[in-house]
A = this chain, B = another copy of it.
Amino acid sequence: MKSKIINDPVHGFISLPQGILLDIIEHPYFQRLRRIAQVSLTHYVYPGAIHTRFHHALGAMHLMDQALSSLRAKGVDISDEEFLAAKQAILLHDIGHGPFSHTLENSLIGVSHEQLSIFFMEKLNEEFGGALDLAIRIFKNEYPRPFLHQLISGQLDMDRMDYLSRDSYFTGVYEGVIGYDRLIKMLDVREDELVVEEKGIYSIEKFLMARRLMYWQVYLHKTVLASELMLIRVLQRAGALGRAGALKSHSGALSVFLEREITAKDFEENRDEWLDAFSRLDDVDVLYALKQFAREEDFLLSFLSSSILSRKLFKLRFSQEPFSKEEIHRQVQKTARRFDLPEEQAAELVFSGVESNEEYNIKAGEIKILFKSGEILPFSESLGYEIQHRLIKKYYLCVPKG
């Protein structure tokens, strides 16, 4: 059978056999992921981090192939249908992401990207004559063999393994390198649940720590977070202005989402229309809008937009305690004075909130360790010392510089 080979600097060569997987990839819905950055505006801190959701989806599918092949070699019974469906599901797991990943979810659209992914899968399933039935069941965790879902979404899923490796490669932050091949070789299945062989314990520890370090060095880096808060505020402001009919500039596929907030109900009532509108959206529209917004009259909109474009990013401080109302109000007053704004508007330039990350979340379901004796224990009881959850909360306060 003919197949395409794609050069992936992270995993080497990715094979794409002719058939449904290649058909999915060639579909405009999927090609659109080429224009959606994997890590939003992170390139403002790590200039190499301009990789796309498209690339990540291919990589995760490749790791799924490796994991399933390794499991089969260990004697786990996986049918050809299951094998293919798991690859389809992970290929499509992020298809519902909008521009700059989570930005729109937090500003203009009242539907989660996971829900949007399911809408897209169902639409594609209709186009492909039911070829995605099993993939959708696995994705929704409705299939009776849970390990297949766990490989897509779980404590040790192929999604995380790909994005940690990939984000490390493109940022140059090697703290995130995780040796996924070793970890994958340690996976096994017992009673249709994913387990990890005893000798993989150190690799799990490394993986959990790598993930935690990537959170603080990359995903929640002060400047990255500041840029994302600014971008969300731009879209909120543009939405408010748009709904009030006060936007002059043209912004293509984004316009419809600036005119009114779209909710889950809209999608349920009229899935195809809204999915079509959403599928036209990508980072290009938002970036183009920023360039237009920078020339709008509204001060908040133009100030935020031009600040993002020329990388005049706000200053963000972290604290282990919440910032007091007084402190936040002082910043609002200071901002009001500086820009000669009413406090109500100045408050839109002061962001406060909290971010948290937990190294190992027991409640999310434990990683299971398979001992040589055949015994299976939760990870937290397999270490020989007490596990540290390291739930860390960081409160932030973010204001214009200078």
Cβ of A253 and Cβ of B291 under 8 Å apart? yes
In the assembled complex, A84 has its CB within 8 A of some CB on chain B: no
Bound CA–CA A34/B50 (angstroms) = 10
Cβ of A9 and Cβ of B202 under 8 Å apart? no
Cβ of B284 and Cβ of A291 under 8 Å apart? yes
**Which B residues are CB-close (under 8 A) to A253?**
291
Q: Which listed segment binds B: A178-186, A333-341, A346-354?
A: A178-186
Cβ of A47 and Cβ of B384 under 8 Å apart? no
Cβ of B177 and Cβ of A202 under 8 Å apart? no
Cβ of A252 and Cβ of B47 under 8 Å apart? no
Bound CA–CA A214/B357 (angstroms) = 26
Which partner residue on chain B sits nearest A174 by CB separation? Answer: B179
Which partner residue on chain B sits nearest A201 by CB separation? Answer: B216
Cβ of A252 and Cβ of B288 under 8 Å apart? yes
CB distance from A15 to the nearest CB of B (A): 8
Cβ of B185 and Cβ of A5 under 8 Å apart? yes
Cβ of B7 and Cβ of A171 under 8 Å apart? yes
Bound CA–CA A284/B287 (angstroms) = 7
**Which B residues are CB-close (under 8 A) to A173?**
7
Partner of A209, one of B50, B52, B209: B209
Cβ of A174 and Cβ of B171 under 8 Å apart? no
Which partner residue on chain B sits nearest A168 by CB separation? Answer: B9
Q: Which listed segment binds B: A239-247, A264-272, A385-393?
A: A385-393
Cβ of A48 and Cβ of B8 under 8 Å apart? yes
Cβ of A171 and Cβ of B9 under 8 Å apart? yes
Which partner residue on chain B sits nearest A172 by CB separation? Answer: B9
Closest 10 CB pairs of A and B: A9-B172, A288-B288, A7-B172, A284-B287, A47-B55, A28-B310, A9-B48, A174-B179, A50-B50, A250-B250
Chosen A-B contacts, 11 in total, with CB atoms closer than 8 Å, are: A5-B185, A8-B47, A9-B169, A9-B171, A13-B181, A43-B52, A47-B58, A174-B179, A250-B250, A252-B288, A284-B288
